Amino acid sequence: MSGPTESSDTPTAAPEAKAAAVNTMFTAIAPRYDLLNHLLSFGVDLWWRKVGTEALGPLGPGQTALDLACGTGDFALQIARVNREANVVGADFVEPMVEIARHKGAAAGLAHRVRFEQGDAMGLRYADASFDGITCAFGVRNFGDLQKGLAEMARVITPGSRMVILEFTTPTNRLFGALYRFYFTKVLPFLGGLLSGRRSAYEYLPDSVYKFPDPPAFIRMLEEAGLTEVTFRPLTFGICGLYAGTRA
């Protein structure tokens, strides 16, 4: 299945070039990121994060989860709202996204339990086994080196902790898949470009989804990173997939 052709300012195959292009791209769309997320997904992205929080499982008093590639903080804040005695760290390497997340955390009255900071999945500055769980929503596609990023995610959580990843997938139903591809490759880039002024970012989105490993292949990568009992759950007719596993 083919996606849109990459433009000159969308991420390329080289890890360093991809990282730089992703940073530039998300910096440009940060001010309208939340609006477009909710609008273009018809609000279902909020439900996906609730399901992801359930898959992470409960966090007890004093425990801390890391939400990697946290963007503007929706997943981290959702985890904190559900786990009222736990702490959450949100990390993202795009500083404008982190700034928006900090403002949202303060507005929600959660700044005392949720900390947002800049961080790169290719080299997390946290010690081994620093966290009691880790999440990443729609961010692993953007890793410069996917296997290295997954290994870093596994490294910083304690044995027995959960890793939960939400990522876009390709619907397998032929009729729905055809309708969705039309929306995903034609309508979404047009609307996203119109509202953000950065059409290339919304052309990159479907292209990166189509190039991402399919569920069986990605499950193998998670197992190679050190996870056991890895599961995959398709959400919303296969538009989104929820991957979850336990650190060995």
DSSP 93-160: S-HHHHHHHHHHHHHTT-TTTEEEEE--TTS--SPTT-EEEEEEES-GGG-SSHHHHHHHHHHTEEEE
SS3 168: strand
Model confidence band, residue 190 (pLDDT cutoffs 50, 70, 90): very high
How far lies 52's CA from each of 56, 69, 83, 141, in Å? 6, 15, 13, 17
Specify the higher pLDDT residue, 136 or 201.
136
At 159 the pLDDT is: 98
Flag whether pLDDT at 89 surpasses 50.
Answer: yes
Residue 78 near residue 69 (C-beta atoms within 8 A): no
Flag whether pLDDT at 6 surpasses 80.
Answer: no
Model confidence band, residue 5 (pLDDT cutoffs 50, 70, 90): very low
Flag whether pLDDT at 151 surpasses 90.
Answer: yes
Residue 124 to residue 156: CA distance in whole angstroms: 8
125 located within any domain: yes
At 3 the pLDDT is: 33
SS (H, E, C) 220-232: HHHHHCCEEEEEE
104 located within any domain: yes
User: What is the CA 232 to chain-centroid distance, rounded?
Assistant: 15
Flag whether pLDDT at 10 surpasses 50.
Answer: no
At 13 the pLDDT is: 54
Q: What pTM did the predictor assign?
A: 0.90
Flag whether pLDDT at 1 surpasses 50.
Answer: no
At 176 the pLDDT is: 95
Count of domains in the chain?
Answer: 1
Residue range 95-112, pLDDT digits in tens: 999 999 999 999 999 999
Flag whether pLDDT at 26 surpasses 90.
Answer: no
Flag whether pLDDT at 9 surpasses 70.
Answer: no
DSSP per-residue string spanning 47-76? HHHHHHHHHH----TT-EEEEET-TTSHHH
9 located within any domain: no
Instruction: Kindly state the average pLDDT of the residues 163-172.
Output: 96
Model confidence band, residue 17 (pLDDT cutoffs 50, 70, 90): confident
4 located within any domain: no
SS3 46: helix
Q: Which domain holds residue 240?
A: 15-247
Stated as kind and residue range, the H or E segment containing 84 is none
What average pLDDT is seen over the chain?
92
Residue 178 to residue 26: CA distance in whole angstroms: 28
Flag whether pLDDT at 213 surpasses 90.
Answer: yes
6 located within any domain: no
Residue 13 to residue 46: CA distance in whole angstroms: 30
CATH number for the domain that contains residue 240: 3.40.50.150
What one-letter code names the amino acid at 8?
Answer: S
5 located within any domain: no
Model confidence band, residue 22 (pLDDT cutoffs 50, 70, 90): confident
Model confidence band, residue 117 (pLDDT cutoffs 50, 70, 90): very high
Residue 22 to residue 9: CA distance in whole angstroms: 9
List phi, psi (to 5°) of 228: -120, 165
2 located within any domain: no
209 located within any domain: yes
Flag whether pLDDT at 44 surpasses 50.
Answer: yes
SS3 166: strand
Give the alpha-carbon dihedral of 201, 67, 146, 99, to 10 degrees.
40
